[in-house]
A and B are shown apart, each in its own frame.
Chain A
Amino acid sequence: MSTPALFVIGATHHRAPLEVREKLALGSAGADEMRALLAAMPDLREFTLLSTCNRVEFYGVAADSAAEARVRAAFCARQKFDLDEFSRIGLALRGRDAVQHLVEVSAGLDSQMLGETEIFGQVKEAYAAAQTAGHTGPVLNRVFQKGFQAAKHVRTNTAITEGQVSVANVAVDLAVNIYGDLAATRILLLGAGEIGEKTAKAFQSRGAAALTVASRRFERAMELATALGASAMPFEQREARLAEFDVVVCATSAPDVVVTRAAARAAMHKRPVRPLFFIDQALPRDVDPDVADIDNIFLYNLDDLARIAEENRAAREAEIAKCRAIAAEKADALWRQVAPQVEALRLNGSAAPLPASATPAGVPAKEST
């Protein structure tokens, strides 16, 4: 049985720790340089480079398996990384397994944060860049385009992307469950630390525009407000102005409660129709726990958010087997379509043209060069 000439090599977060990935990371300029190196390899017919913070992967189509070794060597030489070490920690898949890997990566099954959707966009960007530069041909065009469809199928037919798995995003999801659209939601951030900032950014990324920061050190509140494009408020006004806000993110390091039950009740008297949502991420807690008993007020603390994130993560884990089965089935079908092309390339040095019915819509059946 001959070695198929469709391959993927690289390194991912699974076996390459952060300090190694730092050494292997390709910036924008580095990626361009690497692409130029690969484009100059005469026996590498098609390729796509995927570089994210958790992985660097080369998808290629070559007439012989030696090209794969040359790509690996060129990359290690450019990164000044030990070739043997790269081979030890690296990823190397061929043929059908490479196709399945692409589907799984695109569907977020291979991501550090299982089921995340950002990777799908990153793979699409990598493919678009390769296609624009003329680095892809009939095999990779088909593999990537059909691979994207397969990844979408996995995501829409399983619960792999359901529920948020980070504490900040869980908090935002809860706010969506209360207010629906977050565009008109007014958010107060109490405390200017890292945790509060992350949560505030998560709210902004989901459309929340009206953000106010209050910190016991006003200059720090001003600083963070400027960085976030928000407004600042003196910390002492927090209870008196509580009624102005819908979501209150509490993340101070104050030793005592900073929002009392009486203050929350007074705020609800002033704005009875709209619910009030407290996200207490502080330790010790910032919000009096008795606030949760008030009608139309919802209070979640750090443990509540972490538990929901963990439940969501567990639910995604439970979907893995189903997702992999779908990915395998799709990869089998796709590989059956492109295998004759790849084999023809290996035997004759040029890919046979795909039948018209097999050419993805809008993609010219480009001959490899």
Chain B
Amino acid sequence: MLSLFTDRTWLWAAAGLYFAGFAFGTVALLRQGRPSGSLTYLLVALGYVVQLAGLGIRGRAVGGCPLGNQFEIFQFTAWSAITLYLLVGVTFRNSLLGYFTSCLAAALTVVSLSIPAWDATTRTHIFGSNPWIELHAALAVFSYGVFGLLALTSIMFLLRNYSLKSKRTGGWFSFLPSIMDLDHMGVRLLGAGAAILAASLAVGAAYWVRDTASVNSPKLLLTVAVWLAAAIAFGLRVSGRLLAKRFAWTCLGLFVAALLSLGAVDNSRNARANRTLAAPAADRSPAR
């Protein structure tokens, strides 16, 4: 019976809870004209615990942080975004932030679970025995989770800005946080995301200089470009040159760019795995 509870079972359950939070939020908005608030928060929190259990089982099975394929990266990104939401979202429990977060988490987890090819059955132990490379990957994906939450606050900012400019402040719009609160959250999240990604790149760079062939050029260029874009956007915002709507659109674009860069990350990892498999048996990492 217990064998039925594989890592994917737990992760499906978590996706179900996130989706339930999103569904209850939608029903509450349509029927009562207000978000379900505490219920959404509770479902997201439960989903978070269940997802943590699933990722924990997967992590134990692979002997490291579960960031070895597209599926795991999407799961970890969703988990990172929820971690931040649970930390900062308490203040906005009754606003639409919980609803949007449950929507993002449901989308990332359901999509990743629905595409079996993303979760390859044969999986190389990509990090070898080096915990620093594992930290590099975990920090990078965590920063993508931060950018995910940043994208949500940016959408909320654009909605709030639209409601105030078009003078439609009732209904769902009344549950959006103030435009200044959203702006402050955006700046903090962008700063945090850029800093975490910088730390990840710094750790990765220390090993890359020893073996430049370990990472292919597209991955290197794209991830550095994402970090550079985040750092420049942060600098422009702090100096007052990238503001309001343009800042929000930039943050949204940043998250899209981060998601797109995952393709390059995956390709680089596959190329490395192929090299590992082609290497003498003595050098191979254990397969799952």
| Chain A residues near B (Cβ < 8 Å) | 159, 162-163, 173-174, 176-180, 272-275, 292, 295-296, 298, 300, 304, 307-308, 311-312, 315
Q: Can you give 15 contacting A-B residue pairs, CB < 8 Å?
A: A162-B174, A174-B164, A177-B160, A177-B169, A178-B179, A180-B181, A272-B240, A273-B243, A275-B180, A275-B244, A292-B165, A296-B243, A296-B244, A304-B167, A308-B167
Q: How many A-B residue pairs have CB under 8 A?
A: 55
Q: Name the B residues within 8 Å of A174 (CB-CB).
A: 164, 169
Least CB distance from B50 to A in Å reads 31
Closest to B241 in A: A272
Report yes or no: B170 in contact with A311, Cβ–Cβ below 8 A.
yes
Interface string of B263-288 (1 = CB under 8 A from A): 00000000000000000000000000
Q: Does B98 contact A (CB under 8 A)?
A: no
Q: Name the A residues within 8 Å of B180 (CB-CB).
A: 178-180, 274-275
Report yes or no: A159 in contact with B33, Cβ–Cβ below 8 A.
yes
Least CB distance from B168 to A in Å reads 9
Least CB distance from B159 to A in Å reads 12
Closest to A304 in B: B167
Report yes or no: B179 in contact with A300, Cβ–Cβ below 8 A.
no
Report yes or no: A295 in contact with B179, Cβ–Cβ below 8 A.
no
Q: Name the B residues within 8 Å of A296 (CB-CB).
A: 243-244
Closest to B33 in A: A159
Q: Does B217 contact A (CB under 8 A)?
A: no
Q: Name the B residues within 8 Å of A159 (CB-CB).
A: 33-34
Q: Name the B residues within 8 Å of A179 (CB-CB).
A: 178-180
Q: Name the A residues within 8 Å of B165 (CB-CB).
A: 292, 298
Measured CA separation A274–B183 after assembly (Å)? 10
Q: Does B177 contact A (CB under 8 A)?
A: yes
Nearest first, the 8 closest Cβ-Cβ pairs linking A and B are A180-B178, A272-B240, A296-B244, A180-B181, A298-B164, A179-B180, A178-B179, A304-B167
Q: Name the A residues within 8 Å of B219 (CB-CB).
A: none
Residue among B160, B169, B177 facing the most chain A CB atoms (10 A cut-off): B169
Report yes or no: A315 in contact with B170, Cβ–Cβ below 8 A.
yes
Report yes or no: A308 in contact with B169, Cβ–Cβ below 8 A.
yes
Measured CA separation A179–B184 after assembly (Å)? 11
Q: Name the B residues within 8 Å of A274 (CB-CB).
A: 180
Q: Does B123 contact A (CB under 8 A)?
A: no
In chain B between 223 and 246, which residues have their CB closer than 8 angstroms to a CB of chain A? 240-241, 243-246
Measured CA separation A162–B32 after assembly (Å)? 12
User: Given the interface contacts A304-B167, A308-B170, does A176 sit within 8 Å of B178 by beta carbon?
Assistant: yes
Closest to A246 in B: B180
Measured CA separation A311–B170 after assembly (Å)? 8
Closest to A305 in B: B167
Report yes or no: A295 in contact with B245, Cβ–Cβ below 8 A.
yes
Report yes or no: A177 in contact with B178, Cβ–Cβ below 8 A.
yes
Closest to A315 in B: B170
Q: Name the B residues within 8 Å of A177 (CB-CB).
A: 160, 163-164, 169, 176, 178-179
Q: Which of A176, A304, A312 makes the CB contact (< 8 A) with B170?
A: A312
Measured CA separation A272–B245 after assembly (Å)? 13
Report yes or no: A273 in contact with B178, Cβ–Cβ below 8 A.
no
Measured CA separation A274–B160 after assembly (Å)? 15
Report yes or no: A178 in contact with B178, Cβ–Cβ below 8 A.
yes
Least CB distance from B37 to A in Å reads 12
Q: Name the B residues within 8 Å of A308 (CB-CB).
A: 167, 169-170
Least CB distance from A223 to B in Å reads 33
Measured CA separation A178–B165 after assembly (Å)? 11
Least CB distance from B154 to A in Å reads 15
A sample of 19 more A-B contacts (CB under 8 A), given A176-B178, A178-B178, A272-B241, is A163-B170, A163-B174, A174-B164, A177-B164, A178-B164, A178-B179, A180-B177, A180-B180, A180-B181, A272-B240, A273-B240, A274-B180, A275-B179, A296-B243, A300-B167, A304-B167, A307-B167, A308-B167, A315-B170
Residue among B177, B244, B245 facing the most chain A CB atoms (10 A cut-off): B244
Report yes or no: B181 in contact with A295, Cβ–Cβ below 8 A.
no
Measured CA separation A308–B183 after assembly (Å)? 25
Measured CA separation A312–B170 after assembly (Å)? 8
Q: Name the B residues within 8 Å of A315 (CB-CB).
A: 170
Least CB distance from A308 to B in Å reads 6
Measured CA separation A263–B180 after assembly (Å)? 23
Q: Name the A residues within 8 Å of B243 (CB-CB).
A: 272-273, 295-296
Closest to A297 in B: B165
Q: Name the B residues within 8 Å of A298 (CB-CB).
A: 164-165
Q: Name the A residues within 8 Å of B167 (CB-CB).
A: 300, 304, 307-308
Least CB distance from A306 to B in Å reads 12
Closest to A272 in B: B240
Closest to A185 in B: B180
Q: Name the B residues within 8 Å of A272 (CB-CB).
A: 240-241, 243
Closest to B173 in A: A177
Measured CA separation A173–B165 after assembly (Å)? 15
Measured CA separation A9–B243 after assembly (Å)? 60
Q: Name the B residues within 8 Å of A295 (CB-CB).
A: 243-246
